[in-house]
């Protein structure tokens, strides 16, 4: 499956490259049916007036193609082998990183060399410290998804008498039983409805299985970024094991819970001062459901990020 997606990505990049007027390339985990990674690329494109080509890999005969600019995209990528291989094929250092995360405690020697002429921006203080510890200058910002509400404004269509809870399990790291029980608890709330949000193709089988037992609508989040943002932005509550549905919920000021599966979740929550929003599947959050709907304790987050990073949108429009 991933081989087919990789081949499709190469073909799409080759076709786009032949037609492009500006040879600007954005390297990221793209073309893999993943809402979070596609959202970050879409945000970068909005900031840059659609001037970049998406790429994860390239054919060998393209490796000598001249580039105007090369950018390392968002997501958990620094220290990732797949991204290093892509950069090496182009033979050019990226001009900047689009608020990347860092895997591991320290950068490899190859990564340090690759980024020596790069303006490195990370999604958190934690990732920036790992870079600096490795000898790479870095500036801490925030996950670009935090600015979704500025770039994709949505009309407040929340019905006064209807409660919509968007639920986002992870196809590999979530248990069917946990989410089945969670959905049943939500459906006991008066006038409530559940939307099952598959942030990746990996999540779709689990979402479909849950929908059969709970009669819920399933949304493939990667298919239409604007629509997906609209769904999250007009929800009354978001509960997600995937990272970016919660990032986007926070951007719109929608109450949310994260169900833990990876360190990057805690990293994001720490960056916005909301570390109390992370739970695991052993925690019973059913008692928190009703009182969390309409809980505005994180609503100030977006305005605070704008104050802290006032030049965020202009910093990357190059």
What residue numbers bound the domain in which 288 lies? 150-304
For 305-314, what is each residue's pLDDT tens digit? Answer: 777 788 888 8
13 alpha carbon, distance to own chain's centre: 21
Task: Answer yes or no: is pLDDT of 107 > 80.
Answer: yes
Output the six-digit token pair for 227: 């629509």
Residues 45 and 187 in one domain: no
How many distinct structural domains can be found in the chain?
2
Measured CA distances, 162 to 159, 228, 237, 251, 258 (Å):
5, 19, 12, 22, 23
pTM for the whole structure: 0.91
223 within a domain of the structure (yes/no): yes
Of 141, 173, 197, the residue that ends a domain is 141
The residue-averaged pLDDT of 154-170 equals: 83
Own/partner long-range contacts of 273-282 (Cβ < 8 Å, ≥24 apart): 273/301, 274/250, 274/298, 274/301, 277/246, 281/174, 281/175, 281/178
62, 14 contact by CB (below 8 A): yes
The span from the CA of 111 to the CA of 113, in Å, is: 5
Could you tell me if residue 313 is inside a domain?
no
Same domain membership, residue 223 and residue 269:
yes
Stretch among 170-179, 230-239, 286-295 having the lowest mean pLDDT: 286-295
- 164 bridge partner residues: 193
Token duo for residue 124:
């958190």
CA distance 303 to 96: 25
| Amino acid 90: pLDDT | 81
Question: DSSP 3-state helix, strand, coil percentages of the chain (rounded to 5)?
Answer: 45, 20, 35
At 4, the pLDDT band (50, 70, 90 cuts) reads: low
Residue 236 contacts residue 253 (beta carbons within 8 Å): no
Both 158 and 256 in one domain: the answer is yes
Residues 103 and 154 in one domain: no
Backbone angles phi, psi at 97, to 5 degrees: -105, 140
Q: Are residues 137 and 185 in the same domain?
A: no
- On whether residue 311 sits in a domain, the answer given is no
Q: Pick the last residue of a domain from 141, 159, 174.
A: 141
Residue 286 in any domain: the answer is: yes
Q: Select the more confidently predicted residue: 52 or 158.
A: 52
Based on the domain organization, do 44 and 170 belong to the same domain? no
Do 133 and 208 reside in the same domain of the chain? no
Is residue 239 within 8 Å of residue 164, measured between CB atoms? no
In the predicted structure, residue 86 carries a pLDDT above the cut 70: yes
Residue 68, domain member (yes or no): yes
Instruction: Give the pair of three-digit tokens for residue 264.
Output: 């990057």
For residue 159, being part of any structural domain is answered with yes
pLDDT in tens, 21-71: 668 889 988 878 899 999 999 999 999 987 888 887 765 555 556 678 899
121 belongs to a structural domain: yes
Q: Do 131 and 169 fall within a single domain?
A: no
- Residue ending a domain, among 115, 141, 167, is 141
Name the more confident of 305 and 284. Answer: 284
What local confidence, expressed as pLDDT, does residue 267 receive?
A: 92
| Assigned domain for 190 exists | yes
Domain identity same for 9 and 136: yes
177 with 119, same domain: the answer is: no
User: Are the C-beta atoms of 195 and 235 separated by less than 8 Å?
Assistant: yes
- 99 and 245 in a single domain? The answer is no
CA distance 114 to 111: 5
CATH at residue 242: 3.40.50.2000
Both 161 and 121 in one domain: the answer is: no
């Amino acid at each position: 499956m991933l081989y087919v997606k990789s081949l499709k990505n190469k073909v799409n990049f080759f076709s786009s490259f032949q037609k492009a007027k500006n040879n600007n390339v954005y390297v990221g985990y793209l073309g893999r049916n993943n809402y979070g990674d596609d959202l970050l690329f879409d945000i970068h494109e909005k900031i840059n007036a659609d001037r970049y080509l998406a790429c994860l890999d390239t054919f060998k005969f393209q490796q000598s193609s001249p580039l105007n600019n090369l950018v390392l995209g968002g997501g958990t990528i620094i220290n990732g082998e797949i991204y290093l291989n892509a950069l090496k094929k182009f033979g050019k250092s990226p001009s900047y990183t689009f608020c990347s995360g860092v895997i591991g405690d320290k950068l490899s020697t190859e990564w340090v060399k690759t980024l020596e002429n790069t303006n490195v921006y990370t999604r958190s203080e934690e990732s920036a410290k790992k870079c600096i510890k490795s000898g790479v200058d870095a500036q801490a910002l925030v996950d670009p998804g935090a600015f979704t509400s500025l770039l994709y404004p949505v009309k407040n269509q929340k019905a006064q008498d209807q409660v919509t809870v968007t639920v986002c399990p992870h196809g590999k790291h979530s248990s069917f039983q946990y989410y089945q029980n969670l959905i049943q608890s939500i459906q006991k709330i008066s006038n409530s409805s559940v939307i099952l949000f598959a942030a990746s193709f990996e999540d779709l089988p689990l979402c479909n299985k849950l929908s059969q037992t709970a009669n819920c609508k399933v949304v493939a989040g990667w298919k239409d970024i604007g629509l997906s943002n609209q769904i999250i932005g007009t929800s009354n509550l978001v509960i997600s094991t995937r990272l970016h549905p919660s990032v986007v919920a926070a951007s719109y000021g929608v109450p949310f819970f994260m169900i833990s599966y990876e360190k990057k979740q805690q990293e994001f929550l720490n960056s916005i001062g909301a570390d109390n929003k992370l739970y695991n599947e052993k925690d019973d959050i059913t008692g928190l459901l009703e009182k969390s709907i309409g809980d505005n304790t994180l609503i100030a987050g977006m305005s605070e990020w704008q104050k802290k990073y006032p030049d965020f949108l202009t910093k990357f429009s190059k």
